[in-house]
Amino acid sequence: MSPEELVSQLAPIRVPAEFARFGLQDALCAISLGLVAGLLLARLLRVFVRPRVAPRGDVKAEIAALAGLGRHERLLGLAAILARMELPPPAGLSEALYDPGAEFDPAIAERAVLAAREAGPRA
């Protein structure tokens, strides 16, 4: 008997009707598996796309480059460095960014950046 003849004599597969339907439980299961897979993928990709903190010398060079800019541009650059380093802005920096008349010494933000770099990378 050839394989084709053997296959033709097999009875059709019988599946209970409740297994053959795609219901709410199946949809929720598919969604939950997709969410779990997405979370795992995001966790793995986080290692590769994590922002890198600039070395100490680069931060000092950035601060030196900002020194030649205007007051508002300098504050904006310092705020960007602080945000990249995931540091909270010093008191008064946010107000000075939005209000050009606000008094804020850029040296305060520079000291905060340099102190954080001297303390080392954050965990």
Q: What is the mean pLDDT of residues 68-92?
A: 87
Q: Where are the domains of the chain?
A: 3-49, 56-119
CA atoms within 13 A on the CB side of 21: 6
Q: Residue 123 — pLDDT band, cuts 50, 70, 90?
A: very low
Distance CA 94, CA 117 (A): 21
Q: Residue 55 — pLDDT band, cuts 50, 70, 90?
A: low
Q: What is the mean pLDDT of residues 46-61?
A: 73
Contacts of 31 (CB under 8 A, 6+ apart): none
Amino acid 121: pLDDT: 57
Q: Residue 57 — pLDDT band, cuts 50, 70, 90?
A: low
Amino acid 36: pLDDT: 98
Q: What is the mean pLDDT of residues 47-71?
A: 78
Amino acid 19: pLDDT: 76
Q: What is the mean pLDDT of residues 39-63?
A: 80
